Structure 1
């Protein structure tokens, strides 16, 4: 970490953002700030879980085609993944509190518009704006936590609580989404509005002001911002559309080529400007880059598994949205139980071993789900998978967060959080696109053959990541022994 003595800007931030003592006895204000930031994480997880369950009724009510209604989910991922690097850097430049407040307010407004929408195009546009808003709130919120709590036990505890609130939001979203969808899908958009307003007013009173970076000489690197944002938007859009357009089509190949050209232009710009949007040296941080790749595997495999599980339960088995939500609930409850204690486990085992143990649980959970058939008993074929996922999430999420932000200077924590979150969102888009394409090529829609082919891809990616995590953990342990 950069020291405050060596960096006046960090010293200024430290004076404005009080950190708790190393003994972890936090003041009431620190607890209040953490609760508000956890509320933002809770809101994002709640919204995603609810809207995922509400997609079929949305399609029926607004008369949307299957290809059109998938954009209710994909447009959020597009906005989130496309603007994360920009959101992370803007939070560092403009001030994290300011960015958080504006983004949460926009999220509330867009959610309200989505709940009142009578047209599918307007609903998709609202979801896109919500994704863009989340691209600013996620790195800003995590950066505030990282810079407010000192590295070590206090930070690990704060991050584990942050993860637990995401799990609580997911669990609550499953139940709320199932119940509200029975009443009307619009309530899945309207419920987040008062929660977002609560987070907004809480942040106004409890999140301390932080100074914008660079003073009067700061530069916003508009060229870098434009090229990387367009590149990420085009990359995610091309990946999402590839199963429909065809992976070998001119449209898909052209999209990848243009995205690559834009990324190359971004790299050139960043190497020349005085105050780059992304300091390229940051990518030499193996912990950050490794965590971003791990994040891609975490969310990519899980979102694909959830997609397969939803189709299997609702379309093949005929379960209701609420029944499906209850089927996934044990995972969320176990995550919420373990996550608050994950910080202590990171301190004991280290983030690398936590990530490895998490992927052991992921891989085993996906293998166990292979046994599903048209008459599988929930307690035998599905519950063990949900329980293992409930163990895997807090281990892998907390480990990746801690590893990604360790050793990063305070003034770049927002950007580091943006890089990590980009891994999550782009990974979700890439893996889900590959899985859906595999399913389409292997068996009829909503058939066991199709589901199993998708599960094999999910399991393969998870197993590969598990082995890579084991190699990294063993290598780190060897270096520690050699340094003694």
Structure 2
């Protein structure tokens, strides 16, 4: 391995470590909330915002984060936002009041919204398009997927000792990345006159609109939803009239960008929504402890790891559309296999096969959609493309959780409600498969690397 290749691989590890932290933070809070509430005497409304505050800020600022990475420098944006993420994590572990804790979670969500697109665009501009970039994006997608699973396990283990460790956990990893990253990360490219041409009106409209949309889905607040639609409509009008828009609307006419983002939205509705309901099912219906739930999901994480390592080769042979569509169908099959589980579903014969099949589908579809979302765009728009697809996933997660949580109340019994939710999640997967199959079919397979 040459020195240049070694630097690239080290940079990839560091960037994946950052996205691992972002994903892990989505699941770390879930298991720790009851302990935090008991220790600090917090009401349920405040505890809920420890979860939703992170998600709202993350989803709302992603587009702005992607554009900032393009305009102000990808490495600079990555390092500054990761430093803020570490500082907010440290502050959260030291505080002992409810709303200050919520503020740290919101700040972490904002920092993650800047870190994620900067990291992804650094990868796509460091690795050449084709098999090399496909492998790098497969590792990146794998880091994000396994971060969520690791958060479930770590939260259960650490909460047994002290819930404060859940806040402290990301700090040493972030500090290590901050020390090493400046030595290996490329400086990146910043457009000339970026600051002078920054689209402030578009940034306010789209960020406010997405924030309110995620908030409306989380809180089921219809007034916020209407205002979100109005702001997003205003954003489209602003972008059409700007000479240097925040999100040039023509990017959605570039190859696979639009269908990849729609499929990513459906992917998140299915898999994140299903995981939310599945965890409730395991704990509420089957009586699993939080730690047992996390450990039970480990085989799904392993299936994602193994499959994601093979996805680049499959894309090179069969193309993005076929692999992404197949992955969506397989993950949907894993979701529907949960219909076999009843009030006392056996883990080895019922739950384990469903989790593994779902993990295989995730490992196929998520890397494929990430690659499709950033393909065919020049380097100076990679941050924007990264922000778009990550935003699609976060918004899809909000929609999926809100919809599946609502439909669980439609059944004649609790178990019937879970089954309805599993069917709806399977429907989301099927929709994503159709979008990928038809929208990405024009994308030629990546060239097979030479031996």
Deviations 1:202-235 (A, max 9, x none): 2122112124212477411111111111111111
The answer for the alignment partner of 1:62 in structure 2 is 40
Match of 1:469 among 409, 424, 436: 436
Counterparts of residues 332-351 of structure 1 (less than 5 Å): 332-351=301-320
* Deviation of the 1:274 alpha carbon: 2.2
Contact 1:234-1:259 at 8 Å conserved across structures:
yes
Distance in 2 separating the partners of 1:402 and 1:380: 35
Could you say what secondary structure the match of 1:27 adopts? helix
Match of 1:165 among 113, 124, 143: 143
* Cα distance change of structure 1 residues 282 and 50 upon mapping to structure 2, 3 Å threshold: same
Say whether 1:425 aligns with 2:394.
Answer: yes
Contact 1:370-1:452 at 8 Å conserved across structures:
yes
Contact 1:218-1:275 at 8 Å conserved across structures:
no
The answer for the alignment partner of 1:188 in structure 2 is 166
Distance in 1 separating the partners of 2:400 and 2:9: 37
* Cα distance change of structure 1 residues 66 and 453 upon mapping to structure 2, 3 Å threshold: farther
Match of 2:235 among 244, 249, 266: 266
Contact 1:168-1:336 at 8 Å conserved across structures:
yes
* Deviation of the 1:364 alpha carbon: 0.8
* Deviation of the 1:441 alpha carbon: 3.9
Deviations 1:395-445 (A, max 9, x none): 11110011111100110100011111110001111121111111234356x
Contact 1:331-1:389 at 8 Å conserved across structures:
yes
* Deviation of the 1:286 alpha carbon: 4.9
* Deviation of the 1:255 alpha carbon: 2.0
Which deviates further from its counterpart, 70-79 or 458-467?
A: 458-467
* Cα distance change of structure 1 residues 476 and 99 upon mapping to structure 2, 3 Å threshold: closer
* Cα distance change of structure 1 residues 279 and 60 upon mapping to structure 2, 3 Å threshold: same
* Deviation of the 1:476 alpha carbon: 6.2
* Cα distance change of structure 1 residues 116 and 265 upon mapping to structure 2, 3 Å threshold: same
The answer for the alignment partner of 2:128 in structure 1 is 150
Counterparts of residues 222-301 of structure 1 (less than 5 Å): 222-242=200-220, 252=222, 254-301=223-270
Q: How many residues are treated as equivalent by the alignment?
A: 444
* Deviation of the 1:58 alpha carbon: 2.7
Match of 1:452 among 412, 416, 419: 419
Counterparts of residues 365-444 of structure 1 (less than 5 Å): 365-443=334-412
Structure 2 residue runs without a partner (length 5+): 445-451
* Cα distance change of structure 1 residues 400 and 441 upon mapping to structure 2, 3 Å threshold: same
Which deviates further from its counterpart, 422-431 or 310-319?
A: 310-319
* Deviation of the 1:474 alpha carbon: 5.7
Distance in 1 separating the partners of 2:161 and 2:79: 31
Distance in 2 separating the partners of 1:318 and 1:59: 21
Compute the RMSD of aligned alpha carbons.
Answer: 2.0
Contact 1:50-1:177 at 8 Å conserved across structures:
yes
Match of 1:136 among 102, 114, 130: 114
Could you say what secondary structure the match of 1:440 adopts? coil
Distance in 1 separating the partners of 2:48 and 2:419: 22
Say whether 1:113 aligns with 2:80.
Answer: no
Match of 1:326 among 295, 302, 321: 295
Match of 2:277 among 301, 308, 323: 308
Which deviates further from its counterpart, 227-236 or 160-169?
A: 160-169
Distance in 2 separating the partners of 1:406 and 1:474: 14
* Cα distance change of structure 1 residues 94 and 193 upon mapping to structure 2, 3 Å threshold: same
Distance in 1 separating the partners of 2:328 and 2:214: 25
* Deviation of the 1:475 alpha carbon: 6.6
The answer for the alignment partner of 1:81 in structure 2 is 59
Deviations 1:138-187 (A, max 9, x none): 11001011011111011111111212222343343232222112112221
